A and B are shown apart, each in its own frame.
Chain A
Amino acid sequence: MSGIAGSARPGLGHGLKLQWEPAQDAHVLLFPEGMVKLNGSAGAIMSRCDGLRTVAEIVADLERAYGATGLAPDVEAFLALALQKRWLELRE
């Protein structure tokens, strides 16, 4: 289990930038001297992590946008990875 509370508000890590790059047809995460090209689902999750929305709200929004249900485990697994890599940090 990831152990991330549904009420947590993930936001981008300190000094990171996330933007859509047409030349790469992808969301790209930019940080000091590094760059990660995100796949579609990672981009969809990360672009909703604005430090304002809760994990539960992000999951609900994704399920609405993609007409899917039961996304919470996948989203939480990705968030756990992104937190561990410091792409994201949790805000209260």
Chain B
Amino acid sequence: MSLLPPLGAGLDAPGALPAQPARTPGPPLWLLLELTYRCPLHCVFCYNPTDFAGTGAELSTEDWRRVLREARALGAVQLGLSGGEPLAREDLEELVAEAHGLGFYINLITSGVGLSEARIAALKNAGLDHIQLSFQDSSREMNDFLSSTRTFDLKAQVAALIRKYDYPMVLNVVLHRHNIDHVGAILEMAERMGAQYVELANTQYYGWAWLNREQLLPSRAQLARAEAVTQAFRARVGNRMQVYFVVPDYFEVRPKACMSGLGSVFLAVAPDGTAMPCHAARMLPGLELPSVRTASVREIWYDSAAFNRFRGEQWMKEPCASCPERDKDHGGCRCQAYLLTGDAANADPVCDKSPYHHLVTAAVARAEQAVAAAGGAAGAQALRFRDHRISIPVVPETPAARR
């Protein structure tokens, strides 16, 4: 699945305490288990590694249960079960039951493919708290095209089942050039389906989305229209539905506080047991990621070099090292810094203080031209669909040979 969770959402709300300072790491409050890379969909914006086909065997049920126990003992409490498609794991119900018994709040992040009524009932019984269902668009044609499958009708049936079994319903739609103009129809679809929360998550450019960036990045006018439509929808429905609009950071001049700082609150485990301080971190060169097969979650979180690498500020270069805003955004996203500049320790080039910021504005300028040339309905013939039969290494835009 494709969404980076909205970390820290609500942490600064009134009645809440301020986040802990990053000096001594707090517990890994958010645990994301990517149970499998298997997935029936072929989404063009998937953040999974583009070479996932070459990764090792999936963890066993007992391995995952141990990870759950160890992480919970450290204080992990929000659990995401994702992938790939987590329903591809036949032991999903068993893992949910274990997590529920441990006191996790359990989020299933799914395409809906494989979610029969028997399974949704079994998951409810096991203690699953919430289901996030992805749609690729509001229409059957676009949904099915963008996922390279025929799944729209099935997803609509799953949405009805989610409501029938009284789960809070979160619809997630990843936005990009080819569907962002349909935001109004997407929101109306969500309303008809009885969604409580809608996440309109603009594509973040990692994994397969990075390969397809030139075809996916919207224009500024598209973005402005989508935001205006979302605002009008929010004004109409009030607090009956919560609509999150995740802005694409390429249009910003300051970077996002990615993961609230790497190694601060978030721990992800890949299907083969590789532990990561963010979903995309396995592409970072020189970061020797530990495995839950050979280390405890405690050792991984507190002691491993990989999780300590980007904690605090020691790793920062200029312009971050002396920046008055470094506490706020932690230098932005390490993966984006690597993909655009070739060096993960550079400032995220989304920041207009970065000497590489022109790479971001140039990508946006190319998107403007492409959208204008296609009259708004951009051609999609060059899209590369996620596929286990092909394995593509990620290459940064600017190799860091000079540094």
Contacts and interface: CB of A to CB of B under 8 A. Distances in A.
A91 interface: no
Contact residues of A: prevailing secondary structure: mixed
Given A33-B132, A86-B239, A19 B103 contact: yes
Interface stretch (B12-20, B226-234, B343-351, B366-374): B12-20
Given A30-B129, A34-B9, A35-B78, 13 more contacts: A14-B168, A14-B196, A15-B129, A15-B130, A15-B167, A21-B75, A23-B26, A23-B74, A30-B77, A33-B80, A35-B9, A35-B30, A37-B16
Interface string A15-44: 101010111101010111111111100100
B197 interface: yes
Nearest to B131: A32
Contacts of B129: 15, 17, 30, 32
B170 interface: yes
A26 B167 CA distance: 26
Nearest to B10: A36
A74 B27 CA distance: 32
Contacts of A26: 17
Interface stretch (A3-11, A50-58, A65-73, A76-84): A76-84
B17 A35 contact: no
Given A15-B129, A28-B77, A82 B15 contact: yes
Interface residues of B, number: 32
B311 to A, nearest CB: 18
Contacts of A64: none
Nearest to B105: A30
A31 B168 contact: yes
A40 B239 CA distance: 26
A36 B77 contact: no
A17 B105 contact: yes
15 contacts: A22-B75, A23-B75, A26-B17, A30-B78, A32-B130, A32-B168, A32-B170, A33-B5, A33-B6, A33-B107, A34-B78, A37-B16, A38-B16, A39-B17, A86-B242
B221 interface: no
Contacts of B74: 23
A35 B103 CA distance: 14
Contacts of A81: 14-15
B11 interface: yes
A-B CB proximity, top 5 nearest = A23-B75, A15-B168, A30-B105, A42-B15, A32-B130
A61 B26 CA distance: 33
B162 to A, nearest CB: 11
Contacts of A34: 6, 9-10, 78
A75 to B, nearest CB: 12
B29 interface: yes
A19 B77 CA distance: 10
B27 A23 contact: yes
Contacts of A35: 9-11, 29-30, 77-78, 105
B197 A32 contact: yes
Contacts of A14: 168, 196
A37 to B, nearest CB: 5
Contacts of B77: 19, 21, 23, 28, 30, 35
Nearest to B15: A42
A49 B6 CA distance: 27
A72 B14 CA distance: 18
Taking each of A31, A36, A82, which has the highest tally of chain B beta carbons within 10 Å of its own beta carbon? A31
A35 B80 CA distance: 13
B47 to A, nearest CB: 16
